[in-house]
Structure formats: C-alpha cells, structure tokens
Structure 1
Amino acid sequence: MLSLPHSEAAARTVRAHLAGVGAAWRPQVLHAALLLATEAVTNAVRHAPAAPVLVRIADDPERLGIEVVDAGTSPLPPARCQGGPMPHSQHLGGRGLPLFGLLSDGWGSQLEAVEDEGKEAGARHVVWFELAHGAEPLTRAAGRGHRSAAAPG
C-alpha cells in the first residue's frame, strides 16, 4: 500500500510509483493505469478532506486492480460523471470519471468502513478500477453495458 500526502505532489508520486512497479506490464496497461490512477488521486486531493491518500495495488497474471482511498464520505461520484460524455478537449480540468468507463475493464466507487483503535468508527471513500493484462486499449468499452458501481467480487 502506498500512502500519499494530501497535496498536488501526490499525483506525480503515484505515477512514479506505478512506473516502477509496472515496468513489466504491457505498455497499454501501464499507460491506462497511470492515467486512471492520476485522475483518481487528483480527485481525492481536490475533493476530499485533508488526509493521506492511500493507493492499493493488486496484480496477478490476469488482472491489475488499483484502489484509491481518501477521507471523503460520499459513496458515489455525481450521477453526471457516470457514463457522461468526455469533456471537450479545451476543458481546463482533467478528463474526469468518464475515462474510467472508457479505459478500464471495471470500476466503481464505494464507502469502506474504518475502525481505528481508540477512535470512533467511520468510513472513507474508495474509487477502484481493474485492467485486464490481455485487453487492447480503447476497445474495453465496446459492447459493454452501463458500469456497476459495486465493489469488485
């Protein structure tokens, strides 16, 4: 697990970390992982309360799974982000959550229970995505229905 400071440097740090651990991944998988992790970390820094941002990576021969965890308490992104159109190329912000549906093989958002010893139980926000190591880029979304926001099974 990677713990990132709640700062603009977090996106740069997650990219550097993934470039190192993903050196053996297919270039298409690495590129998609870099782009989507950067988007999720940037959103965590911009929209969640100040607290470290956690990145969990699960990699096996079939799939890569990445979770970005922040201190937010909203379980889902706004409905306008899910399955919405890609922002115009002149848009000053990021490409937003529509990228997850385009580039991943699965993604979602959920709340995760947190129990710290000596503290009150709470929750934190998790955005996750999966990439199949054998899938071709930009064809992932072809023929798929609406993406579920439930946790991966």
Structure 2
Amino acid sequence: MQQAGRRRLVKVVVDGDDGVGLDEVAEVSRAVSAVLDEHDAVLGGPYTLEVTSPGTDRPLTRPRHWRRARLRLVKVRPHEGPEFVGRVGAAGEDEVEMLVDGALRAVRYADVAKAVVEVEFKQPPVAEMAMLEGRASGTEEDAR
C-alpha cells in the first residue's frame, strides 16, 4: 500500500500456474473491494484499488513461474557459464527441461542466477513446439 495524493493505493498482484485472465482479475477485484469497504477504518480514508498480474519482465524464481512460461522463450544467466536462450518445456520442482540450440537440456533452478521471458513478435517455430509438446505427453512416439 502506498500514498497516491490524498488517497491510498492498494495494489494486489494475482498470479497462477497458467497465468490469469480478466475474469480472475475482476473476481479478485470485487472480493478485495468488498472486504476493504467493510473495513474502511483500516485504511483511514479513500483508496484506489489496483488489481493486476505480474509483467513479463518479472524474473522466473519459482517452479510455478517456469510452469507458467511453458513453451515461451527464456533468457537464462547461470551462476557459472555463458548466458543462453531456450524454450521452456516441462517444469518440475527442482529443474526445467529447455530446448537450447535444437537440443533438450535439463536446467536445475539452483544453477540459475537470473531468468526472464523474452518477448517474441512472431510465432515460435513449429518444430520446436512439437519437440517440447511431444516430451510433455511422455510417449516415445510423440517425442520424435
């Protein structure tokens, strides 16, 4: 919460494994607004409520962030070694599978210093998507 002129700004960030849509943001906005209106003495005056979702520039720091970035292009700066860009596949609790330079590679979260989603202005290559989608289904036939 912060001051915005004579009003207080209450900012709520809504997140989920599969991202969030406008319906979820609206639902959260109505629920939070109702609670704040019931307890208006807590804020001590007028307020502005802002409900939003995290931006694409937010670093991927938790497994759920990686799950939400599935099939997206991500720039990774490891603790050791050169920076690389790859497409996100299946994300587990300790590591994520990425397609880097045409090869599948397991990347441990503990080895990542920073990772952010790269904004793409065109459709991803069909071959890359098929390779990652096939791996997610778990069948050898699909992985080819």
Report TM bin, short chain.
under 0.3
More strand by share: 2
- Which structure has more relative contact order (CA 8 Å, sep 6+)? It is 1
- Structure label with greater radius of gyration: 2
Using the size of structure 2 for normalisation, the TM-score is 0.21
